[in-house]
Structure 1
Amino acid sequence: MSAASLQMLIAFLLRVCLAASQQQQQLTPGIMQCVSEGRFPHPEDCGSFVDCLPDGMGGVRAREGSCNGLAYYPTLRKCVSLNEVNGCQPRSARALVADPKLDFVCEGSTSEFVCADCKTLVNCVNGTAYPEPCGSGDLCALKDLDFGGGVCYPSHPPECTCEKPNQFKVDLYNVGRFFFCEHEASEPTFYDCPEDHVFDSTMSQCRNYAGLPECTRIGVFANTSNCTEYYTCIFTTTGWLQKSFSCNNETQTGFMYNEESGRCEDPCSWDTGTFSCSSEGRFPNLLNCHSYYECINDLTKETGFRQILHECPEGHEWDPNARQGFGHCVRQGSTNSVCVPLAANKCTVPNDQCLP
């Protein structure tokens, strides 16, 4: 072969190698060259797919995803059973690891990619949840248009990020979970509320899903926002356990919980300690041992009496038996009778509930 022929052959081989190299570059890195965002079939494996995501520099990058032994259905952009894609023999037969605790997120989405929380993508296959935690910098985002559902996406959605430092926010997909950012736009740290609790962003704390006050001690307490209910506070190794109960049922209505008696009662029978003059004299204040009422006839008043609340001097209390039963302020603890003030009930009874 002449030198000229040899040079032409070498040049041809170089062109072939260059073309092959360019074709190979379309498949690497990340198996394929992405031209737009979205979820696409894997070019070499029917049991895998490729997510094309922003690369942070104005372009898109490829990231492989595996159905782990199942088949990828391109039209639906989902992982499905092998018998739903004719002739599919996945290259990888590694089994998915299911998490029954997350099956609830697959209700109504038997085969779908969904977000269980800001950092957990769930591959729902026939109603079974297969979680796929998102890597550093990625958050679970719902991208139905391009990905047909959830995807671990760079720094998105904004609801799963912090706008300012030292901020607590509720998880976008799971109200029983919250996260904290030490710095603005830093990687969030996620926490779980106790069972049956949700995170209240305004209070920056977990609260009972029924809106019950937070427990601070063991006991049974009225739900002051709705006193027809009461709740228990029990401390366990995993934290406070709350359980709600109702005072009313099919045979009993209008009852409220009385913390003093520890029973559900008709609130119209409660002694609220409210005082109104009915005769002249001085009378004890049932709600406060250190004060008393003075009642004086006064026809200019609607009740017929001028009613005045007086305070005893510091260190003194009202003794209704002093001065032959007329009552007087005496030094605290100087009498045989022990004053126990009536506890004001925390519950508010509707004005029309106890009308005659």
Structure 2
Amino acid sequence: MAQRAALRRLLLLAALLAGPAAAQFRCPEKSGYFPDPEQCDLYYKCTQSEPEEKLCPDGLVFDDTNPSQGRCDLPANVDCGDRTELQEPKPSPGCPRANGVFRHSDPEVCDKFVNCVDGEPNELPCPPGLIFDDSTSNCAWTTESQRHDCTNSKKDVLNDGFSCPDGEVIGPNGRPLPHPTFPHPDDCQKFYICRNGRVPQPGNCPADTVYNEATFRCDEPENVPGCEKWFDDVGKRNRRK
């Protein structure tokens, strides 16, 4: 008798433990896809008010914005609200979770990130001048990023010492220039390009033109104060060599 009573207690305990995971979800509508109230990567497919438990691939979470779709997405694209729990991670070399976009494993590498698909890492670069911000799973300017360990990253410097100045450059139309240009200090025909405002590259105007810093483009020498006789002077310098 004692053994039967103990067995009944064990069966009852097992049923109580299994109940919340298997049978407590109530479909809010007869059909559709609905989120678990606590776990963001767990959801239910309801058919005739009968729920079927579904789990997103590791690293993705359920997007509950459209009940007609059972869609999983990156956490940065989904507002989980109070659904803070997640399944146990399934990490692999280079991937904290099987799927997702993650910062580079080297904390000093800010301009690259890793895209993991089914546990396979793929290293990708950010566009020039941007850093990877894992709060949005996107590349961003340091001034707009929530990632503060990269805000003081070193600037790129050309061999002649030029580096892109901080701050926006307003163009003739009153809007910030995405790739501003700057005059060379010693050569009227040369200039600098700052890709995305941060990565410097040398530039050179076509023959018989010089850089005009007022218009941010190459122009006729007579339109650029101080460079009107640049090519005459260049010819004299070349003849002396």
User: TM-score, with normalisation over the residues of structure 1?
Assistant: 0.26
Report the structure number with the largest CA radius of gyration.
Answer: 1
Tell me: higher relative CO, structure 1 or 2? Use CA pairs within 8 A at least 6 residues apart: 2
Q: Which structure shows the higher strand fraction?
A: 1
